Amino acid sequence: MKLTPIFTICLGTAVACFMNACHTEEKQEAPVVSVQAATAQKTDISRTVHAEALVFPIDQAMITPKISSPVKKFYVNRGQKVRKGELLAELENRDLEAAAMDNKGALDAAAATSETTVGATLPQDIQKAEQDVETTKQSLDAEQTLFQSRENLFKEGALPRKDLDQARVSLIQARTQYDAAKKHLELLNAVGKQQTIKSATGQRVSAEGKYLGAQAQLGYSRIVSPIDGVITDRPLFEGEMASPSAPLLTVMDISSIRAKAHIPQSDAVLIHKGDKAEIEAPGVEKVSGKVTLISPALDPNSTTVEIWVEAKNEGQQLRPGVSAQVSVTAQTVHDALVVPASALLNATGGQAQVMVVNSDSAAQSRDVKTGIQTPEQVQILSGLNPGEQVVSEGAYGLPDKTKVKVEKPSPSGGEGEGEKGDAAKGEGGKSESGKGEAKPGQDKD
């Protein structure tokens, strides 16, 4: 059957109109965007304060000798563990030993003199004084009797006055000697005895002090560890001169460490003594500790607050002087409504937006108020209910009320899932761009 030109033209026009109508219907279909979503749920969330810190030993002793003397011998090396009271080094001390020996002899002599004075000399002096009193008392009595006898004879006219006057003079001399002996005994018992004992005791104490000083000087030549720890520095060799102006040895106790950090005042008000913390350094596993100090004053140079975090240093992985990262758990909210931090859009202060997937599989923008925020999660204070789904991946630049298809995240959470999603969508990616192009197979149909 032969077709006329007019019929052919009409048929072509009809086919063209049919194809244009099909393309128009495809363009009017709403695009579907593949996204990932997460459910708002209640759980615990903590506010964490992060700061750079410097690690210090829990205890340290820079041992400086008190005397200048050559090093006679070292008993430890760098890196060696030591105990409190252990002998670390010895300085030349022969002259100090001789001085101590000389003072020991002087002390022994002073002690012997004190014992002799108190135990023998003083009692003898008192005994002699008592004998003198007794002798002068007898002489006084004899002179008194003689004077009375001569006085009676003088009254009877049997004795000249010259003999009576001579007897009176002898009586006065005897009484004077007796009074002097008695006074000496009294002074010896009351004052002399105490002063003699004090003098002897003072000489002994003085000698003992000199001996103790010599012993101390000798003890300074023996260097012992004041703490348990590890030898971290030993700058001199045997034979070199040790001086009070420079440390001879350094001992550090690194069984525990102390990380010192400076944080803003706004963060410091959230932290309390005893709060849990973590210390992390390059190449070292995280170490758990706690806050032991919060400075009551600001650093005048940086206007920050210094905090100390102490932790056990098992295996001595954290070395003093290394820079570390300190993380302090400052606040924990239980049963808080949280969503992934990646779901937030246009976050400013405590305000943000999220894309909520409604029952029609459309992403709807909603304003929310946020609270505690971590790198992984964020607390929602208002604007969202538990159980609602929010777009966690793919919400950026997504128009409001766009149809979405929620895909399951890949186990690795990498870009491979997105590539798989694009592959699964096939030409859906073209539909997402809004071009609405059909598959080649559809064109053929």
Complete DSSP assignment for 92-105: --HHHHHHHHHHHH
- pLDDT averages per 10-residue partition of the chain, 445 residues: 47 52 52 86 90 95 94 94 95 90 86 68 70 84 86 82 83 86 74 65 85 90 95 94 94 95 91 93 91 92 93 90 92 89 84 88 89 88 90 84 78 41 38 38 38
What is d(CA 206, CA 211) in angstroms, rounded to the nearest whole number? 9
Percent residues over pLDDT 70 in the chain: 80
**Which amino acid, one-letter code, is at 256?**
S
Note the CATH architecture for domain 48-60+252-332: Beta Barrel (2.40)
pLDDT tens-digit profile of 368-418?
999 888 888 999 999 999 999 899 888 888 888 888 888 876 544 444 344
Task: Tell me which long-range contacts 24-28 makes (C-beta under 8 A, separation of at least 24).
Answer: 26/436, 26/438, 27/436
- The reported pLDDT for the residue numbered 415 is 40
- The reported pLDDT for the residue numbered 187 is 72
Q: 0.75 cut: is pTM over it?
A: no
- The reported pLDDT for the residue numbered 396 is 82
Residue appearing with tokens 């909603």? 366
- Parallel/antiparallel/unpaired status of strands 69-74 and 222-224: unpaired
Residue appearing with tokens 């703490």? 227
The answer to whether 26 touches 436, Cβ cutoff 8 Å, is yes
- The reported pLDDT for the residue numbered 117 is 64
- The reported pLDDT for the residue numbered 28 is 53
The number of CA neighbours under 13 Å toward the Cβ of 256 is: 12
Residue 53: strand, helix, or coil: strand
- The reported pLDDT for the residue numbered 297 is 92
CA nearest to 30, candidates 439, 444, 436, 342: 436
The answer to whether 221 touches 67, Cβ cutoff 8 Å, is yes
Q: Looking at domain 94-220, which of 1.10.3470, 1.10.8, 1.10.287, 1.10.357 is its CATH number?
A: 1.10.287
Task: Report angle CA 253, 259, 261 to the nearest 5 degrees.
Answer: 150
- Per domain, the residue ranges of the chain are 48-60+252-332, 94-220
- The reported pLDDT for the residue numbered 222 is 94
Which three-class secondary structure string do you get for 312-329?
ECHHHCCCCCCEEEEEEE
- The reported pLDDT for the residue numbered 71 is 95
- Parallel/antiparallel/unpaired status of strands 389-393 and 377-382: unpaired
Task: Tell me which long-range contacts 144-149 makes (C-beta under 8 A, separation of at least 24).
Answer: 144/171, 144/174, 146/170, 146/171, 147/171
